[in-house]
Structure 1
Amino acid sequence: MTPETPATPGIPGDTVIVAEHLRRVFPRRGRPDVVAVDDLSFTVRRGEVLGLLGPNGAGKSTTIKMLTGILVPTAGRLEVAGVDPTRHRTALARRMGVLFGQRTTLWWDLPLGDSLDLLGRVHRVPPDRLRRTRELLVDVLDLGPLLGTPVRQLSLGQRVRGDLAAALLHGPDLLYLDEPTIGLDITSKRRLRELLTTLIAESGVTLLLTTHDLSDVEALCRRVLVIDHGTAIFDGDLAALHVAGGSARTLVVDLVAPVPSLEAPGATTVRTEDDGRRHWLRLPQDASTAPVIAAIAAAHEIADLSVREPEIEDVVARLYSGGGPAVSD
């Protein structure tokens, strides 16, 4: 929200996105309507990084398209930077950067470098700033060897890097990234996360991120909004997500001499292997392993042990299913 934009009554002045009871229905002739988003409410503040999570078909991309003004909500209220994104789509486009991992904003038959230059002119970026920003993005995203290649000849990972450069070229203060690391190798993912982290820290960019790569979420997001069937089922920080998803740590203990069962205060045995030599114990995510290990060591000779932290993928999956604590294998 720009300083000259009046704040919505009851909404903090630094709030960039306000969504209240959003609903989006896709009618189908002769068949039941598809409810993609149903009674979804959330707010996002300036400089916040929000991870929007959900399984395929949960309504993530539909939500992003409503936020960008591409789709009109069937019901509810939506405000982005103080205005209705559908009615002020052109004005908001100058402040937004958008990346849809499966679609491109680049010109299919133009070389990548020409596409970036053309986009800079479309967004009316001053030439000196365009040159500096372009050089930075080309370096960070390793686009130099690709600038002369037509977009249609780029691989998926190469095109995604090009689309990310296009989304950042005009210096937006609001970023929508839908599956930004799809098709990227490990090195490219790392460099992308470092770029986004720096951008957020130095420029105060507000970022809405949808991804199936939950390592992106752990690296970038302090807050996550989990939706399923178009409805929010969780909104909070990662620590709260672990609690809501029944997150648990796993202690794997190898004993010198086998025992049929292993008991320790505050832990529950969930598996016994190797004829009683290896035992898997579960304890809450926020519990210390020290007293558990001390109790076991006082009663048995330990050959080896390891602590396995819960995978966020398991936590989110169990949140979808409504199951209990997950154990890391």
Structure 2
Amino acid sequence: MTEAIVVADALRRVFGAKTAVDGLTFSVPRGAAVGYIGANGAGKSTTIKMLTGILKPTSGSALTCGLEPLRHRRQLARRIGVVFGQRSQLWWDLPLRDSFRALGAIHRLGRDALRDRTAELVDRLDLGEFVDTPVRQLSLGQRIRGEVAAALLHGPQLLILDEPTIGLDVLSKERLRVFLTEQRALHGTSLLLATHDMGDVRRLTERILVVDHGRLAFDGTLTQLVEQVGAERVVVLDLTDPAPPLDGIPGTRLVGVEAGGLRQRLSFGSGETTVAAILAVVARRGPAVHDLTIEEPDIEAVVRRLYAS
């Protein structure tokens, strides 16, 4: 069995009359990338604070990197990296490079190790143009890249990201996603990602945990979630010649006809039919398929359907 880097067992946290986290039980295998998603107030940030030793659970237990987070908070800090999208671990009036030096000293990195790791992160995150600029003068996208570099400076076993791309433009988000994918491949870093950005979930994680009012509503892959809520995929058929509407194909629903019948869109549920079966029926009707694409369900809509069920 793969060793777990995070274990939550009946984790619960109460604030006065409000139960923020209510009996969460899950584990994250070492080396995995898991998305932790839910609406505002669902309990995501509270869970992360308990897993990192910032908050004490009201009941239940947690192990992160094999340590009890609150009891072994100092030791745990050397094994994890954490980025909170709206909080900073950088020194506001210092250049990024000076923040990295200070953090290197805190984590007791040797001079050579700090130099080599800083150079790697500056290169891979394109920090070179502003690494000597005070943090207060950086754009949001530049600062977030600096935050991620700071969290990874000491080579943590686990990287925890809480809304890391909030407020970033499309280019900055994509640059950060590519970097995180590379880091996992190069260093085997485990990833726990709490986010509202479904693009992050789709691109960066292999498994998702959906939390609703502090309780675990789903644990599995995105494909399994789509199947559970009955969301539909869309096959887009580009035909060589215009054809009448391709309605009445078993297991499908015609949702669009474009360019006078040259392009047709059929939605279908994964358990109702397959693309191969659809193409077989289309071929019997006569029109030749020049090209096809599959549009996956919108993940935000899938999650909304899960909450509604």
TM-score, scaled relative to structure 1: 0.83
Seen in structure 2, the aligned counterparts of structure 1 residues 205 and 252 have a Cα distance that, compared at 3 Å, is closer
Matched, 1:19 2:8: yes
| 3-state SS of paired residue (1:79) | strand
Does 1:268 find its partner at 2:253? Answer: yes
Question: What CA distance in whole angstroms lies between the structure 1 residues aligned with 2:24 and 2:147?
Answer: 28
Mark the CA change 1:257 to 1:163 in structure 2 (over 3 Å): closer, same or farther: closer
Q: Distance in 2 between matches of 1:84 and 1:157?
A: 33
Question: Structure 1: how far apart are the matches of 2:95 and 2:44?
Answer: 31
How far did residue 17 of structure 1 move? 1.6
Name the residue aligned to 2:77. Answer: 93
Structure 1 residue 290: Cα displacement: 3.3
Structure 1 residue ranges without an equivalent (≥5): 1-11, 28-32, 323-329
Q: Per-residue deviation at 1:168?
A: 0.4
Amino acid of the residue matched to residue 267 of structure 2? Answer: R
Q: Distance in 2 between matches of 1:175 and 1:88?
A: 17
Q: Does 1:282 align with 2:279?
A: no
| Deviation (angstroms), 1:88 | 0.9
Amino acid paired to 2:304: A
Aligned residue for 2:205?
A: 221
> Deviations for 1:74-99, whole angstroms, at most 9, x for unmatched residues?
11111223322011111110111000
Q: CA deviation at 1:314?
A: 2.3
Aligned pairs for 1:49-198 (under 5 A) are: 49-198=33-182
Which amino acid counterpart does residue 125 of structure 1 have in structure 2? L
> How far is 1:256 from its partner?
4.4
* 1:311 lines up with 2:298 in the alignment: yes
Contact map agreement 1:141 1:188 (CA 8 A) in 2: no
How many Å separate the matches in 2 of 1:193 and 1:301? 41
Match of 2:25 among 41, 49, 52: 41
- Asked whether the equivalents of residues 31 and 190 of structure 2 are also in contact (C-alpha less than 8 Å), the reply is yes
Quickly say closer, same or farther: Cα 1:307–1:68, change in 2 above 3 A: closer
Query: Quick one: structure 1 residues 303 and 69, their matched pair in 2 at CA, closer, same or farther if it must change by over 3 Å?
Result: closer
Cα gap change, 1:41 to 1:121, in 2 (>3 Å): same
User: Residues 18 and 43 of structure 1 are in contact (CA less than 8 Å); yes or no, is this contact kept in structure 2?
Assistant: yes
Q: Structure 1 CA distance, aligned partners of 2:2 and 2:265?
A: 50
Distance 1:212 1:258, change over 3 A: same
Cα distance between partner residues in 2 of 1:78 and 1:131: 34
Q: 1:154 to 1:284 in 2, by over 3 A?
A: same
1:30 counterpart residue number: none
Change (3 A) 1:273 1:201: closer
> Which segments of 5 or more consecutive residues in structure 2 lack a partner in the other structure?
none
| C-alpha RMSD of the superposition | 2.6
Letter of the structure 2 residue corresponding to residue 281 of structure 1: L
Q: Does 1:295 align with 2:284?
A: no
Structure 2 match to 1:208 = 192
Q: Give 1:134 deviation, angstroms.
A: 0.5
Partner residue in 2 for 1:327: none
How far does residue 53 in structure 1 lie from its aligned partner after superposition?
A: 1.0
Does structure 2 retain, via aligned residues, the 8 Å contact 1:197–1:220? Answer: yes
Stretch deviating more after TM superposition (165-174 or 75-84) = 75-84
* Contact 2:65–2:158, Cα closer than 8 Å, also in 1: no
Contact kept, 8 Å, 2:2 with 2:30, in 1: the verdict is no
1:220 positional shift:
2.0
Distance in 2 of aligned mates of 1:97 and 1:85: 13
Displacement of 1:60 after TM fit? Answer: 0.8
Amino acid at match of 2:11: L
Quote the offset at 1:306 in angstroms.
Answer: 5.8
What is the letter of the counterpart of residue 309 of structure 1?
Answer: E
Secondary structure in 1 matching 2:129: helix
Which residue in 2 is equivalent to 1:321?
308
CA distance in 2, matches of 1:272, 1:82: 53
User: Normalising by the residue count of structure 2, what TM-score does the alignment of the two structures yield?
Assistant: 0.88
The change in CA–CA distance for 1:306 and 1:198 in structure 2 (over 3 A counts) is: closer
Tell me the distance in 2 between the aligned counterparts of 1:157 and 1:224: 26
Cα offset for 1:198?
2.8
Do the aligned partners of residues 154 and 263 (structure 1) sit closer, same or farther apart at CA in structure 2, a change above 3 Å counting?
same
